[in-house]
Structure 1
Amino acid sequence: MAVENGSADEAAAVTVTVTGARTVAPAKNRCTLATFDLPYITFYYNQKLLLYRAAPDFPDAVARMTAALADALRVFYPLAGRIRQDDGGALAVEGDEGAEVFEAEAQGVAVDDLAGGDCSDEAEKVLQHLVPYTGVMNLEGLRRPLLAVQFTKLKDGLAVGCAFNHAVLDGTSTWHFMSSWAELCRGVPLSLQPIHDRSLSRSVRVRLELPASAEAHEKTDPNGPKKALVARVFSFPEPTVARIKAAANAALPPGAKPFSTFQSLGAHIWRAVSRARGLGPADITAFAVFADCRARLDPPLPPAYFGNLIQAVFTGVPAGMLLGGPPELPAGLLQKAIDEHDAAAVTRRLEEYEAAPKLFHYSDAGPNCVAVGSSPRFRVYDVDFGFGRPERVRSGGNNKFDGMVYLYPGRGGDGGIDVELALQPEPMQRLEKDDDFFLRQAAA
């Protein structure tokens, strides 16, 4: 075989025999799911909806956003793959098959019909048609894309509905991706590159016995069929949030650790929902928060870690104590539960799961529960694809059960908080008439 290196004289003096040749391709993208990811395989795709007013020409906007999505998937490559299970029962994301993109139109629907504070029941039904993959379990990621996007042309704007496989990422990573996608669409460099090494959080391989199908798992739900729910968004302006926080902290002794905005507002919601449910004094009520564990690990991990790094933190109390006691009582329960969930507690929870892996149901939150996902710290209103900030950010119907709460920052960016809450119809009607919940008496 001819040798192309060196001169002719050198070739005569030194004999080099090429013994083989081959082409080397880059390794296929592969991301082993960590223990933090696995509990969500039998939850449902997380759905987010962003409403934009007066977007540019719809075909042009969709073309630009789709091109930027392709660029984003090269960076956030786990969202472009599919879930695979190896011979040892461990799960990983492999491949680059891509996301699914839908286009739709609802030209009789205006942005204000959907983004206003008093969203009607009919508008709520429309909202659920603007996000894809309703009712699709994360288990379907073995066969379906891990990300689906729907662009819907509205009468005076654009709806961007997204469905993310929750076994692949949490809320922090969801909004990291959305912000990065928007940056690429605007033609600016990414402000934060993702970290894809999930062994940084946990490197234990866990064997999972997956159900035959999503339907088979749903039939084993001890909580019974899904209940009819009503979803509402309650906007608490910054002065109201401040009054709620001040009330929770008013009776604390000198030197005591003050309650955070989240603990104060969470306690306020917990009490109001328990009143609306008409719970008896001996009825146990639970509160759950899906806490970000990035800063809780030892060593901590940065916000750029891409994946799931959340755990559910629980507390509970009889309704009589919750409603009969002062506001600092539930705020103190939340503070204690959150503070005690340190690195050692996180590790214990992981070890318990690894020793006995369990396939959860999304409604396994506890009796008479209020559960909080999302965070007002997520900068959801900064997701600008080049035609302005969204008018409203909402969640789809997936993973919503009686008492599920999503917290978002107020659009004004002035410290207000939007509370998206799902309840059964009768308790929701009572909550909407609760002056104490809205602090109407205090504001009068």
Structure 2
Amino acid sequence: MAPHKLLKVEVLSKTHVKPKKPLGRSECQLVTFDLPYLGFFYNQKFLLYKGSNFDEIVEKLKAGLGIVLEEFYQLAGKLGKDADGVFRVEYDDHMDGVEVMVAAAAEEVGVADLMEEMGMATFKELLPYNDILNLEGLHRPLLAVQLTKLRDGLVMGCAFNHAVLDGTSTWHFMSSWAEICRGSHSISVPPFLDRTKARDTRVKLNLEKPSDAPEKAKSAENGDVTKSDPPLQEKIFRFSESAIDQIKSNLNSNPSNGTKPFSTFQSLSTHIWRAVTRARQLKPEEITVFTVFADCRKRVDPPMPENYFGNLIQAIFTGTAAGLLSAHPPEFGANLIQKSIEMHDSKAINERNKDWESNPKIFAYKDAGTNCVAVGSSPRFKVYEVDFGWGKPESVRSGTNNRFDGMVYLYPGKSGGRSIDVEISLEAGAMEKLEKDKEFLMEA
């Protein structure tokens, strides 16, 4: 099917959904873990389902959303500031709530058509809030959902304000919403909503409108493409359970003195970092940076519960010369990643927060490092268990927002077990080389 057919998406209605019960007014200060992401774009998720009775499904989803928002009411609010200029999430019963759009794709478009591994730009019409900065949460909902009817199913496109929550919180919300729609009267794990338990420093930011955001984010929002921003290509590389096990066992087959076994994440990350560096054909002296947006819930002191709602991630950076990474065996890169992750303890997190608070800097979504490979999402997120009552998703992907050369999203493979899907955005020339790299593809 020709990709342009997907662009025939007609929005049929736009409504708002509030918590089913009145909750009054509440305010929750954004903290140091949240604030740097005001210059990112809304974080988009794309879930594809088979199913019939579209109108019935829409009503069921809206009804479930009204119930789940009683616990996750912050997503029904807006960004605001207190009298001192400190950002916060504000909710009251008079606010609009979550924006829900109902749409229809061209009649011939079916689920199988969207299973093709096209770039997400092809699917842009199926996602809300493209190129919308999180700072816009001052004026628009913090969550938007677009439900698009297909011939034999539907697409659920979601846009979450990234200044309000990270991936762990996103999938906690999605699984809770699905739980309600499957018939539960309450969610099994309510969110832990007090962000100040993780960090209570009050940081004043002089941001009022999108023009206050970083230049790179603004230029992307305006559709500007500079010479430093070549066209990107995206592809999903699917690694089976046996391929993942082989990558991990190969890396751990030559243990050096004093090193711990490398985890699945460290093994796959090294595999990706080395392959992308080869594909980019960097000069030996050029620096390449591996970045992981790491969950800090168990790293902070005191530790925060898994159901902490908000951002509790920090970027961990590992850098080396491309020549060193390529010339040494894989254990060299894996050691660098392992040490960087291990060193990022509560003391390091606290120091990073103090440094940022002394000189607050709003990140652009591309600030992940030189010649970087930056990993977001996690194969631990149970994305294929988000079943609203008519079956598990056929495909789960990240949207078009916050993509740059070297951005990688990891998801569990749909086949289950230890399989992992690796969604990579790269400059076209490098992607062409990566697609032919037998070592990366685990082909003999």
Indicate whether the TM-score tops 0.5.
yes
2:104 equivalent in structure 1:
105
1:325 aligns with 2:321: no
Answer yes or no: is the 8 Å Cα contact 1:404–1:423 preserved in 2.
yes
Residues 130-149 of structure 1: CA distance to partner in whole angstroms, max 9, x if unpaired? Answer: 11101000000000100000
Q: How many residues are paired up? A: 412
Q: 1:136 to 1:26 in 2, by over 3 A?
A: closer
Residues 37-94 of structure 1: CA distance to partner in whole angstroms, max 9, x if unpaired? Answer: 00001111000010001x1300000000011111111210110001002231200111
Answer yes or no: is the 8 Å Cα contact 2:290–2:373 preserved in 1.
yes
Paired residue type of 1:83: L
2:5 equivalent in structure 1:
none
Alignment counterpart, residue 437 of structure 1, candidates 432, 436, 440: 440
Alignment counterpart, residue 45 of structure 1, candidates 42, 45, 48: 42
Paired residue type of 2:150: L
Alignment counterpart, residue 418 of structure 2, candidates 410, 415, 420: 415
1:208 equivalent in structure 2:
205
Answer yes or no: is the 8 Å Cα contact 2:76–2:98 preserved in 1.
yes
Answer yes or no: is the 8 Å Cα contact 1:29–1:77 preserved in 2.
no
Q: Is 213-222 or 203-212 further displaced after alignment?
A: 213-222
Superposed CA RMSD:
1.8
1:159 aligns with 2:155: yes
Answer yes or no: is the 8 Å Cα contact 1:42–1:214 preserved in 2.
no
The offset of 1:168, in angstroms, is 0.2
The offset of 1:202, in angstroms, is 0.6
Alignment counterpart, residue 168 of structure 2, candidates 164, 168, 172: 172
1:360 equivalent in structure 2:
363
**Residue aligned with 1:269, SS:** helix
**Residue aligned with 1:440, SS:** coil
The offset of 1:194, in angstroms, is 0.5
Answer yes or no: is the 8 Å Cα contact 1:322–1:329 preserved in 2.
yes
Alignment counterpart, residue 183 of structure 1, candidates 155, 179, 186: 179
So what's the TM-score if we normalise by structure 1?
0.90
Point out the structure with max Rg over C-alpha: 1
Q: 1:130 to 1:222 in 2, by over 3 A?
A: closer
Alignment counterpart, residue 33 of structure 2, candidates 36, 39, 50: 36
Answer yes or no: is the 8 Å Cα contact 1:149–1:161 preserved in 2.
yes
2:128 equivalent in structure 1:
132
1:243 equivalent in structure 2:
246
The offset of 1:416, in angstroms, is 0.2
Paired residue type of 2:335: G
User: Any stretches of 5+ residues in structure 1 without a counterpart?
Assistant: 1-24
Alignment counterpart, residue 378 of structure 1, candidates 373, 376, 381: 381
Paired residue type of 2:394: E
Residues 125-182 of structure 1: CA distance to partner in whole angstroms, max 9, x if unpaired? Answer: 4322211101000000000100000001112111101000000000000000000000
1:402 aligns with 2:405: yes
Answer yes or no: is the 8 Å Cα contact 1:137–1:214 preserved in 2.
no
Paired residue type of 2:148: T
Answer yes or no: is the 8 Å Cα contact 2:148–2:156 preserved in 1.
yes
Alignment counterpart, residue 66 of structure 1, candidates 62, 66, 86: 62
Paired residue type of 2:101: F
The offset of 1:253, in angstroms, is 3.0
Alignment counterpart, residue 261 of structure 2, candidates 249, 254, 258: 258
1:146 equivalent in structure 2:
142
Paired residue type of 2:39: T
Q: Give distance in 2, aligned partners of 1:48 and 1:384.
A: 15
Answer yes or no: is the 8 Å Cα contact 2:32–2:203 preserved in 1.
yes
Paired residue type of 1:110: G
So what's the TM-score if we normalise by structure 2?
0.90
Q: Give distance in 1, aligned partners of 2:212 and 2:345.
A: 36
Residues 313-363 of structure 1: CA distance to partner in whole angstroms, max 9, x if unpaired? Answer: 001000001111101011111000000000000101111111111121110
The offset of 1:387, in angstroms, is 0.4
1:281 aligns with 2:289: no
Q: Give distance in 1, aligned partners of 2:110 and 2:209.
A: 42
Q: 1:290 to 1:26 in 2, by over 3 A?
A: closer
Alignment counterpart, residue 232 of structure 1, candidates 226, 232, 235: 235
Answer yes or no: is the 8 Å Cα contact 1:295–1:301 preserved in 2.
yes
Q: Is 138-147 or 188-197 further displaced after alignment?
A: 188-197
Q: 1:364 to 1:195 in 2, by over 3 A?
A: same
